[in-house]
Structure 1
Amino acid sequence: MSASMPQTYPGDALLPGEDDVDALIRGEHADPFAILGPHADGEGAIVRVYLPHAVAVDLLDRAGGKLADMEPSRVPGLFVQRLERQQPYLLRIRWAEGEQVTEDPYSFGQLLGEMDLYLFAEGNHRNLGQVFGAQCLTMEGVAGVRFAVWAPNARRVSVVGPFNGWDGRRHPMRLRHPAGVWELFIPRLAPGEPYKYELLGQHGILPLKADPVALATEAPPNTASRVASPLAHDWQDDTWLQQRAARQGADAPLAIYELHVGSWRREGGEGGALLNWRQLAERLIPYVIETGFTHIELLPIMEHPFGGSWGYQPLSQFAPSARYGSREDFAAFVDACHQAGIGVILDWVPAHFPTDAHGLARFDGTALYEYAHPFEGLHQDWDTFIYNLGRTEVHGFMIASALHWLREFHVDGLRVDAVASMLYRDYSRNAGEWIPNRHGGRENLESIEFLRHLNDVVKTEAPGALVIAEESTAWPGVSKPVAEGGLGFDYKWNMGWMHDTLKYMGQDPIHRRHHHDLMTFGLIYAFSERFILPLSHDEVVHGKRSLIDKMPGDRWQKFANLRAYLSFMWTMPGKKLLFMGGEFGQWREWSHDHELDWYLLNYGDHQGLQRLVKDLNRLYRQEPALHVQDCVPAGFQWLVGDDRHNSVFAWLRWSPTGYPLMVVANFTPVVRHGYRIGVPSGGQWLEVLNSDAEFYAGSNVGNAGGVIADDLSSHGQPHTLTLNLPPLGVLILRPE
């Protein structure tokens, strides 16, 4: 053969046109199914496979019998063969390191149904976690994994992983017009396989991307998604689910223990390994039962690349973090909580996502999940991207994420993070750094519509589940039904109450008379929303000091102040939330890298504080007056709200039926002897809790367990109690 003559191969005659071949080799072909796989012609079917680095390929029938050797072509790795008729076949691929037998991914037809694509494009696909991403299923009798990913502006998308040497030429996907969704079925792929997507954008290859709808991931710092089999947990929580709506209603006791999974406890103590979900269940559930909380709330456990974000910068909105075990482990944890009578609430973040290259940022080379303009799409406070919830596909993606946790894992509620940042286009922005809405206003109309839709959908799709807003502004109707013009949340965190009362408690008692209104102002608006009173993780980090360390005075006074403050909180209208460590007086600020200082429970004052929280939770659950009318004005009545000179407050909590409770708080270290307060009924009033009791490490000033009312009117009431008020203490009394 002349040196000038190009070498020819037997398979060259069955190749498609030069442009198609060149595009395939360069990894730029937008429709690999037009070239690869079986294609009928007048003489049977032409089969083409592109397997770079393959030594040889045989065609077998489904029983394993040999049909033919595939012919090499002038393109290394591109093999062809004509079959006499269309028929199912297998590929026997010989690699340098061994032999592989598999079905041809390009022999399968379209995978996703038209309805799936229509609902996705419309923003109403409620089951993306069971359709998109990597789904283990059987196609035409063949077990494997179906991949589906939205990337409408990509020129080519491939699935890559160890199974193909991370080579984007091996498994390019089919584009489904006009939804912009790419799909591919890879036969014989098994659960546990790591994978990513390789995308060719308009300007070249992008960094490998994790799957936006991944059901499982590698453990950080690795960033690949993992194929996950369908959740196989055998749920045993029917009784809980049947009772859930009643347990979580506005008239039910809701005492939430907020915690960060990675730092509540560690294996072997300080510096030890993270607990997995099953270990956590063994240790946390008995503790929550012992301390009397009704619910736990977990800082975000959706997979996130940076542990220091505490989960608030998640990148896998459908995958529990691999730090703590598998999906099945997490399901078992939730199930165990339910069987123990404990509800599970997850923090969930639809406001923003991190800029990591393997994540959602410029996913297909364009601003797909985020707004394109930085005045809309970049969150300056957190250096994160803001979801473009006005885009129907993104809107639907986040609705599906919320439902995924509520339905797939039986979670009882979502606390929606950073709602204030979602409501306002000028949130934390200077003049000239934000883009008004279509009416010229500052409200983010797209996010408002999303939140309303979310709350309506949850009520329909996950009956009895809660959606709670972390919202710090005066936006009206956050917990008002959507049909009445509200946002539709079940509860709103009362951030104003938290800031005001913590500011008051931080004052030296001698100065508290000048800040008296901080403790009463919250009652002016206490029933404008359904509120949760939060003492959350945000209040014990970044130099704000722990709860016990915020309190003024010496060690004894710090503990007395905190006991009084928690007693005040537990007897005020509103549901309760306390971050871990606050229940026993953690001195250090919370650190996500360290477990709580459990050794402090060797000391009497820390034990006393924990005992008080247990008893407050017990009373809160047992006494209807403390929870049945938490969210309506009839449940609260001031008796003494203006005694700023003595820093004393007194109020009644009422239930629709039965007796009231009276609460008296003295926020000075001075014992008030003979303090007279009017009450609605005569006879004996029992002292059911005294935060200054010796049992709680207090000074034991009180009223010997009870007081008999005088027939003397006072404070608008027909009878009067004459009480000894303990220093920095709270009394709770009820008629016998």
Structure 2
Amino acid sequence: MLPDHEIERLRSGRHADPFAVLGRHDDGSGAASRVWLRAWLPGAQAVAVLDAATGQPVGVLAPRHPDGFFEAPFASAPADYRWQVRWQDGGESVVDDPYRFPPLLGETDVWLLAEGTHLRPFEVLGAQPRELMGVEGTAFAVWAPNAQRVSVVGDFNHWNGAAHPMRLRSECGVWELFLPGVRAGARYKFELLDAQGHRLPQKADPYARASELRPSTASVVAPMPALRPPSAQRQAANALDAPVSLYEVHLGSWKRRPHEGNRWLTWDELADELVPYAQDMGFTHLELLPVSEHPFDGSWGYQPIGLYAPTSRFDAPGEGPGGFDRFVQRAHDAGLGVVIDWVPAHFPSDEHGLARFDGTHLYEHADPREGFHQDWNTLIYNFGRAEVRNFLVGNALYWLERHDVDGLRVDAVASMLYRDYSRKDGEWVPNEFGGRENLEAIGFLKRLNEVVGVERGQAVTIAEESTAFPAVSRPVYANGLGFHYKWNMGWMHDTLHYFGRDPLYRQHHHGEITFSLVYAFNENFVLPLSHDEVVHGKGSILARMPGDRWQRFANLRAYYGFMFGHPGKKLLFMGCEFAQEREWNHDASLDWHLLDDPMHRGVQSLVRDLNALYRRTPALHQRDFTPDGFEWLSHDDAHHSVLAFARRGADGRFIVVVCNLTPVVREGWRIGVPEPGHYREVLNTDAAAYGGSNVGTPFGAAASQAVAWHGHAQSLLLTLPPLATVFLELAS
């Protein structure tokens, strides 16, 4: 018979070892030993025992406590049994006992979780719908090594933390429990007591594959997405020598339904509208602002709570998880890659999230000088902890393997690399060598990129890194961080400053437009005109352009032409492709009505044509990251603000790019060219179709002349349109 104090611990929700007292137990009293069956069923009035195999009654349990504890001895009892319960509300049901099932985690899983080297912890932690011993249910597991007791709570037990205490696997600090009858769609959380026995706020599952939409905070049981096989086609599309033109999108504000309460589009509606739009515009990839579940719309996803859960914002009413996977498949069917913004740099301090998860600083640093971001009021992962690294690296693989995304753009890498990031003296802790580098974060990033490279070779990782930290996009074996690409923030800031200046003064700031070529091949760069440049009072890209309305549009078109000619992959934030006038508002659609204006429609046509030219012209993308793919023809004519350069592909074929960045037409302008022949204009940003003045070299073509210029034996005599970029190809 179970002692009263053990029953009291169960009743009060403070029993840390429920499997030691519940379920089937041999009393070990020799030849006359008996089998005790014990049930903890809050709300039960009477309990009988059934043989699970035959359904036949075995006996009746005696009530020991009115709150729901029953037990009885048997001379023998089946290992597989069920409870036949009459409930206090008058209902009856037959249920399986969670405490008759064996441990869930295998020994190998326990070892790898404890070591922090489990590549796919999401396969064993969280909520796994499965069949165990012929019974359908869900296996729950959560890492909380410092908790005194952990329970699963949900609709299935009236959110009663005393109902289903879990088993601790002390070897790895994981609590586990199989709950029969709990299926996909069930809402749940974990209730924990800290080491001092204090009840913590109920916690969402760190590994939840689905979550409720804010303001609700429960996790939702969801099936494991199918493993997506590697694709040679996607690997080729993501290669360093491939054309990569990213359309950066915030799904909640790309397009809404104003006549339906300004609601978001669903995943399927986005697949119907966004995918064909991006395909028609010629982009190669969609880059989505974070799609992990997040509690605050205004964070745009950059403060995620459910790192493993695609946000439910875009699920159709009554529709469970799966919409994001359909969206990705539709994008792939259209030839578009999908990159998601991924946030391992920080997490919000919401009480239902990771903060003080088991009553200790489990995921974050305890010292705020290491564990708190002052800029964002968020917490910083403890990258020195093996289990935390495992959680994050596993999450990266989860999105790549189970949701088939093509890449991860890693947010705020600079904030991870430096311990003094955005901190004053005395507000940060030096590393073990007294330096400012965050050695643990650096080790994590290298581990991340090595694992992705080995396990999902078709995928890419992209660093948003704004400092001069060396070798960000170089392999780990070459002492790099291992990213495939790095955002070129220097190019973005310099060129935005340059194009924001009155053309009259650009001659004094010529270095802003040429300096990026000094370091262009130090990293594998992406040229970003991103969401960060159209928020927080910065206005739109168009709004930064100087001059009257015509000049503003001409400047923007010339800028885009220069961007697509410049070495590096391309990224445009949504709305930039049709010259959004106002600053981005995450609570409203883009201003699609602007396309009724020919000037805006012209910019959209230009971006479509630039993408098409970029994709079909190997010289514009094959050698983005090697000096032999670029040659200055004229870079020092600051007085006239004219630039000319050639881009060259692997086969030696080249394209000439000329930029006239003043509103003055340049007649009879001579440009040296690498080879003799007939050159034809393949794109002119001043074309009338784009809203320009339609100025250019007569007939859009010019034959080279044997006049030495710019270090070449041959040269062209051109008419340069005002505030424009022109692309010329040597005719075959």
For normalisation by structure 1, the TM-score amounts to 0.96
Superposed, which structure 2 residues align to 1:648-663 within 5 Å?
Answer: 648-663=642-657
In 1, are the aligned partners of 2:7 and 2:69 still within 8 Å (CA)?
Answer: no
Moved more, 510-519 or 60-69: 60-69
CA distance, structure 1, for counterparts of residue 136 and residue 339 of structure 2? 36
CA distance, structure 2, for counterparts of residue 638 and residue 32 of structure 1? 74
Structure 1: runs of 5 or more not aligned: 1-13
CA distance, structure 2, for counterparts of residue 270 and residue 635 of structure 1? 51
Letter in 1 for 2:294: H
* Mapped pair 1:158 → 2:151: yes
1:26 maps to 12
In 2, are the aligned partners of 1:406 and 1:462 still within 8 Å (CA)?
Answer: yes
1:11 maps to none
CA distance, structure 2, for counterparts of residue 111 and residue 260 of structure 1? 40
Once the two structures are TM-superposed, the CA of residue 70 in structure 1 deviates from its matched residue by 1.7
CA distance, structure 2, for counterparts of residue 676 and residue 350 of structure 1? 51
CA distance, structure 2, for counterparts of residue 211 and residue 670 of structure 1? 62
Superposed, which structure 2 residues align to 1:96-495 within 5 Å?
Answer: 96-97=88-89, 98-203=91-196, 204-231=198-225, 241-267=231-257, 271-325=261-315, 326-495=320-489
1:37 maps to 23
Percentage of identical aligned residues: 56
Partner residue of 1:581 out of 558, 575, 579: 575
CA distance, structure 1, for counterparts of residue 308 and residue 361 of structure 2? 21
Letter in 2 for 1:521: F
CA distance, structure 1, for counterparts of residue 599 and residue 513 of structure 2? 25
Letter in 2 for 1:661: I
CA distance, structure 2, for counterparts of residue 120 and residue 369 of structure 1? 15
Moved more, 369-378 or 121-130: 121-130
Partner residue of 2:51 out of 61, 82, 87: 61
Letter in 2 for 1:38: R
Once the two structures are TM-superposed, the CA of residue 111 in structure 1 deviates from its matched residue by 1.1
CA distance, structure 1, for counterparts of residue 500 and residue 69 of structure 2? 74
Letter in 1 for 2:547: G
Structure 2: runs of 5 or more not aligned: none
Letter in 1 for 2:434: G
Cα deviation digits, residues 395-423 of structure 1 (max 9, x gap):
11100000000000111100111110111
CA spacing shift, 1:620–1:471, aligned 2, 3 Å: same
Moved more, 425-434 or 75-84: 75-84
CA distance, structure 2, for counterparts of residue 375 and residue 35 of structure 1? 45
In 2, are the aligned partners of 1:56 and 1:93 still within 8 Å (CA)?
Answer: yes
In 2, are the aligned partners of 1:133 and 1:214 still within 8 Å (CA)?
Answer: yes
In 2, are the aligned partners of 1:44 and 1:86 still within 8 Å (CA)?
Answer: no
Q: Secondary structure at the match of 2:577?
A: coil
Q: Secondary structure at the match of 1:353?
A: coil
Once the two structures are TM-superposed, the CA of residue 49 in structure 1 deviates from its matched residue by 1.4
In 2, are the aligned partners of 1:653 and 1:661 still within 8 Å (CA)?
Answer: yes
In 2, are the aligned partners of 1:681 and 1:719 still within 8 Å (CA)?
Answer: yes
Q: Secondary structure at the match of 2:215?
A: coil
Moved more, 78-87 or 396-405: 78-87
Q: Secondary structure at the match of 2:408?
A: strand
CA distance, structure 1, for counterparts of residue 67 and residue 494 of structure 2? 72
CA distance, structure 2, for counterparts of residue 242 and residue 232 of structure 1? 19
Q: Secondary structure at the match of 1:82?
A: strand
Once the two structures are TM-superposed, the CA of residue 46 in structure 1 deviates from its matched residue by 0.8
RMSD: 1.4
* Mapped pair 1:76 → 2:67: yes
1:521 maps to 515
Letter in 2 for 1:708: A
Moved more, 150-159 or 337-346: 337-346
In 1, are the aligned partners of 2:225 and 2:403 still within 8 Å (CA)?
Answer: no
* Mapped pair 1:91 → 2:86: no
Q: Secondary structure at the match of 1:290?
A: helix
Q: How many residues align?
A: 718
Cα deviation digits, residues 656-705 of structure 1 (max 9, x gap):
32431111111111111111111122232101111000010100011121
1:50 maps to 40
Once the two structures are TM-superposed, the CA of residue 219 in structure 1 deviates from its matched residue by 1.6
1:10 maps to none
Q: Secondary structure at the match of 2:631?
A: strand
* Mapped pair 1:723 → 2:713: no
Moved more, 327-336 or 449-458: 327-336
In 2, are the aligned partners of 1:277 and 1:324 still within 8 Å (CA)?
Answer: yes
Q: Secondary structure at the match of 2:322?
A: helix
2:701 maps to 706
Once the two structures are TM-superposed, the CA of residue 232 in structure 1 deviates from its matched residue by 5.4
CA spacing shift, 1:342–1:74, aligned 2, 3 Å: closer
CA distance, structure 2, for counterparts of residue 505 and residue 76 of structure 1? 74
Poorly superposed stretches of 4+, deviation over 6 Å: none
CA distance, structure 1, for counterparts of residue 350 and residue 720 of structure 2? 57
CA distance, structure 2, for counterparts of residue 153 and residue 521 of structure 1? 53
CA distance, structure 1, for counterparts of residue 217 and residue 256 of structure 2? 24
CA distance, structure 1, for counterparts of residue 639 and residue 209 of structure 2? 59
Cα deviation digits, residues 257-303 of structure 1 (max 9, x gap):
00011111123568532111111111111111110000000000011
Once the two structures are TM-superposed, the CA of residue 721 in structure 1 deviates from its matched residue by 1.1
